[in-house]
Amino acid sequence: MPGAQHIIDSIFEPFDQQSLVDSFVGEEQADDDFREETKLMALELICAFHAWATARGELEARSATESLDKELDAIAAVEQEQEQTRLRLQQFVASIRDALLLISGSFV
């Protein structure tokens, strides 16, 4: 085991502060790169979400319009059918009236 004198006489390496600074600068650069990459990813996500939200309103409006058009077509079809029924009923009432007139005229 070396003695105390040997430890005192030995020359210590000078403190290499540059390696410590370089390590810190490298870590800082990596952190900055990560922050920049994260900001870009967040910006892309925000843009994609905005585009989706904007298009979603248009798609929902188009879907609602198509649904309402179908309902209006169904209502128009029912109205047309009711008009046909009304005309048939009117013809039936007219034929019954004519028949009653003929019957009442033949008894007189």
Q: How far apart are CA 55 and CA 48, in angstroms?
A: 10
Q: What tens digit of pLDDT does each residue of 25-81 get?
A: 889 999 999 999 999 999 999 999 998 888 887 778 888 899 999 999 999 999 999
Range of the domain at 55: 19-107
Structural domain total, the chain: 1
- Distance in angstroms (rounded) separating the CA atoms of residues 79 and 81: 5
Specify burial of residue 79 (Cβ count, 10 A radius: 0-12, 13-18, 19+): exposed
Which structure tokens are listed for 7? 């430890």
- Residue 5: pLDDT band with limits 50, 70, 90: confident
Let me know if residue 9 belongs to a domain. no
Residue 14, domain member (yes or no):
no
The answer to whether position 63 is within a domain reads yes
* Confidence tier at 107 by pLDDT (50, 70, 90): low
Residue 86 lies in a domain: yes
Structural tokens at position 97: 């009236």
CA distances from 5 to 9, 22, 52 (A): 6, 35, 77
